Structure formats: structure tokens, C-alpha cells
Amino acid sequence: MNNRIIELLERMPGAFVSGETISKELQISRTAVWKQIRKLETLGYTFEASRRLGYRLVAKPSKLSLEELTQRLGASPLAKRITLLDTVDSTQNVAQRLAEDGAPEGTLVLAEQQTSGRGRMGRHWVSPSGKGIWMSLVLRPDLPLQLAPQLTLLAAVALCRALKSVAPVDIGIKWPNDLLIGGKKISGILLESTADEERIKYVVAGIGISLNLEPDDYPDELKEIATSLRIEAGRTIDRTETIAAFIGQFSALYDLYRKEGFAPIRTLWEALSVTLNKPVRLNLPSGAVEGTPIGLDERGALLVRRADGSEMPVFSAETIAQQG
Ligand code: BTN
């Protein structure tokens, strides 16, 4: 980014420059300096501010590099073709277009920021520049469409293992595929499938990881329910390392799935789940249901035990935790 405040601070690396000097050099008011600093913070710059000394540039946003990503991931069949973009509406849209044009399995689309990142149930996904991992992976599994949810569960396990490997935090999976730390969401998965006569043509697996977001990056309504790895671990987490960890975990589990089917993935998912054995209320299209999730069935549906002892398989619903 070509910003005059950054240029000025970079002329004196590590040193404080007073607000007065900045305002004189740039011929703008002190308030305008402060506003620009705040704007730069939202873009990933970090400053130390001192009332007496002024501002010091502490860190610049780290950009992903295609060269580094290719080096780290190039050998993986799930990162055969990497597209790295700066700003997109949604990486899902780009990956879908590539898949429609015949892009192979292992086509990976990443962006520094999304202007219309989307989540499950039509929700908006907060995707500020340089602070997270916003990526979509094209898969071409030979599967009937109704088994696509198994891939969502597989992706959740891969993501959970990858995040645990880059930061020592206690992460669990909330059914079907939200990753939570201390009850707050740090990551989500959106699988969009296209089928031909009930067999999957391609799947675009969208992964959003709120890696280095700060509390102010979230709108007020999300502040209490969302977090980031940086907030939880207390340090900035390397994005390239995290992407490599995810692709590594996903490849291993995808191989296992193709060899042995869903059973081992189901066991791994159940071990990482924070949903099981706690009463929930499920909002289904047919109405609300209360019960206790006890595991997954062999297709990947959540098995919910109801008060009358019956077990109900649920493929898709919004879960709301119940007290007690
Ligand atoms: C959710 O938990 O609701 C799923 C969130 C998925 C967000 C990712 S970010 C990369 C990809 N592009 C999108 O627009 N969405 C997914």
C-alpha cells in the first residue's frame, strides 16, 4: 500500500514520530493523522502510540506470496493449481467458475480479502484484508450427491487438526463444521456441490479461518460469539504455515476416506466434537426438535436421542445449546 504515513514512519525504522511532525509533513490535521492511523490498523498495520512520543510502526500486514505457497504446497495433489487474488467478492465464486471451465481437483483459490464472503444459511462472512485465510478448494470426488456432507465433516476434522498444530489451543467442532474455542467461533466451512444425475460433478470447499483478526474487526453483533486464533493464542499466526497444515491434513484424510470410507472419519470427528452428549434444540425446516446428539451415523447424519428414547438422524439444521 502506498501511504504517506507509512512512508514517513518507514524512513525512521523503529523510531517514534510525533503526531505534530506527521501532520506538518503531510499538511493534514492531527485528527486526520489519527483517523488515517486507525484506517491503517484495519488494513493490518500495527502501531505503538504514545501520547508523548507519537507513533511507531510495529508491523506491516503480511501478504501471501504465490511463490511461497507454491513451494510449500506445490507437491500436494490438492494444491495443483493455486490462484492467489487480492480482492474478490467470494473465493467460492471464482473457484466455481474455474470448476465449470473444467479446472481439476486440487484447484485452490485464495484471496487477501472478500467483499461478499458468504457463510452457511446465507450469512455474511467477515473477511478483512490480510488477517485471515479465505480459500476455496475444488474437489471432484466420485460420490453420490447425498454423501457430500461427509466431506464437510472430513474438512472440519482436517481444519481442527491443522489449527491445533499451529497453536496450542483447545479447539472443538460444533456440528456440523464450526470450529470453536471456548464456545466462540473461529472458523467455518461451506461446501457447495454441483451434481449430474445425483453424482457429484464437483464440490467447492470454502474454508474461512479467522486467524489474526482483532476484536475490532468484528461487527458488534459478532464480538461475543466470534474469536480468532490470534486473540486466543496471544500472537500472530503465520498464514502460509496454516494453509500448508490444512492442505496436509485434508490430503491425508481424503486419502483415508477414499481407501476406507467414512468410518474412520466419523470416529475422528466424534472425538473432536463439542456437540455430543449435550442437550440441544435443532431448528429443522419441519420445525424445532429437542434432544441429545449421541454421535454420527454411517452416512454422516447427526443422531439425536429424543426424550422418548427414539433416535433421529439429522442432516442439516441450526443447533442451539440448551441449558442443563
Ligand atoms: C460458515 O461457517 O458459515 C461457513 C463460512 C465459510 C467462509 C469461507 S471464506 C472462503 C470461502 N468464500 C466464501 O465466500 N465463503 C467461504
How far is the centre of ligand 1, averaged over its atoms, from the C-alpha of 103 (Å)? 20
Question: What average pLDDT does the structure give for the chain?
Answer: 92
Q: CA of 242: how far to CAs of 26, 223, 300, 316, in Å? A: 39, 23, 26, 28
Q: Would you say how long the chain is, in residues? A: 324
Question: What per-residue confidence (pLDDT) applies to 160?
Answer: 97
Q: Is 189 in the pocket of ligand 1 (CB under 6 A)?
A: yes
Question: What per-residue confidence (pLDDT) applies to 1?
Answer: 43
What domains does the chain contain, in order, with CATH numbers? 2-59 (1.10.10.10), 66-271 (3.30.930.10), 275-322 (2.30.30.100)
* CA atoms lying within 13 Å on the CB side of residue 156: 32
Those residues whose C-beta lies under 8 Å from the C-beta of residue 294, and which sit 6 or more positions away, are 276, 277, 303, 304, 305, 311
* 119 CA: nearest ligand 1 atom: 3
Question: What per-residue confidence (pLDDT) applies to 216?
Answer: 87
CA proximity to 154, closest of 72, 267, 278: 267
Which residue, by CA, sits nearest to atom 15 of ligand 1? 118
Is the pLDDT assigned to residue 2 strictly greater than 90? no
* 123 CA: nearest ligand 1 atom: 3
- Report the percentage of the chain scoring pLDDT > 90: 78
Q: Is 193 in the pocket of ligand 1 (CB under 6 A)?
A: no
Across the range 264-288, mean pLDDT stands at 93
Angle formed by the axes of helices 239-260 and 263-272, nearest 10° = 140
Across the range 87-106, mean pLDDT stands at 98
Per residue in 293-313, pLDDT tens? Answer: 999 999 999 999 999 999 999
Q: Is 119 in the pocket of ligand 1 (CB under 6 A)?
A: yes
Per residue in 236-247, pLDDT tens? Answer: 899 999 999 999
Is the pLDDT assigned to residue 263 strictly greater than 70? yes
For residues 293 and 277, the answer to whether their CB atoms sit within 8 Å is yes
For residues 272 and 160, the answer to whether their CB atoms sit within 8 Å is yes
Across the range 244-271, mean pLDDT stands at 97
Choose one of 126, 151, 190, 191 to mutate for the ligand 1 pocket test, by most ligand atoms within 8 angstroms of C-beta.
190
Across the range 97-121, mean pLDDT stands at 96
Strand-pairing partners, residue 13, are: none
Q: Is 47 in the pocket of ligand 1 (CB under 6 A)?
A: no
Is the pLDDT assigned to residue 251 strictly greater than 70? yes
Across the range 97-107, mean pLDDT stands at 97
Q: Is 208 in the pocket of ligand 1 (CB under 6 A)?
A: yes
Per residue in 183-202, pLDDT tens? Answer: 999 999 999 999 998 999 99
Q: Is 124 in the pocket of ligand 1 (CB under 6 A)?
A: no
How far is the centre of ligand 1, averaged over its atoms, from the C-alpha of 90 (Å)? 8
Q: Is 135 in the pocket of ligand 1 (CB under 6 A)?
A: yes
Across the range 34-63, mean pLDDT stands at 86
How far is the centre of ligand 1, averaged over its atoms, from the C-alpha of 65 (Å)? 21
Across the range 48-59, mean pLDDT stands at 91
Q: Is 250 in the pocket of ligand 1 (CB under 6 A)?
A: no
Across the range 145-156, mean pLDDT stands at 95
How far is the centre of ligand 1, averaged over its atoms, from the C-alpha of 207 (Å)? 5
Which residue, by CA, sits nearest to atom 16 of ligand 1? 206
Among 204-208, 210-214, 273-277, the range with the most confident prediction by mean pLDDT is 204-208
Residue 323 banded pLDDT, cuts 50, 70, 90: low
**pTM assigned to the model:** 0.84
